[in-house]
Structure 1
Amino acid sequence: GAGGGASPWPALANSAVASIASTLFVLVLALPAAYALSIRPVKKWTDVLFFFLSTKMLPVVAGLLPIYLFAKNTDMLDNIWLL
């Protein structure tokens, strides 16, 4: 490049692949679950809603710290599968 640094294109390609793959993975899991929750009546609906709301109130650090520790302990920090 003009600055003599490394090209950003491989990193951008990795990010694009990871974001598209994770979006498709989440859709494959979430669409059937959303359909099932919308069609069948749930006996303990208030418990289900409490679970969904409690995950929204969870601090980000509490969710990311175990993932980071797992990645660090398995030497996967610089891996596209963890991106």
Structure 2
Amino acid sequence: MSSEKSPLVLLHSATASGRIWHDVVPLVSERHDVDAPTLLGHRGGPAIQRRPAGVSDVVDAAEHYLDEHGLARPHLAGISLGG
């Protein structure tokens, strides 16, 4: 991650994946180091460890992602479930 750019994490809606941001990433990459992870339980994202999974599980997994990637204070943007 470039120290000159602020981190931006894009969170997708339910039933989608981080790929929905494909067209957005180039538009914001000049000013931000962009991460667009796929959320817990979505295709390509971390597997659900317990059922039923709730929104709190998705939030916990997203927080774990931020910690793993050293993203202590990123900008966050999302739609629907990701918002």
TM-score range, shorter chain: under 0.3
With the length of structure 2 as denominator, give the TM-score of the two structures.
0.27
**Which has the larger Rg?**
1
Structure 1 or 2: more helix by fraction: 1
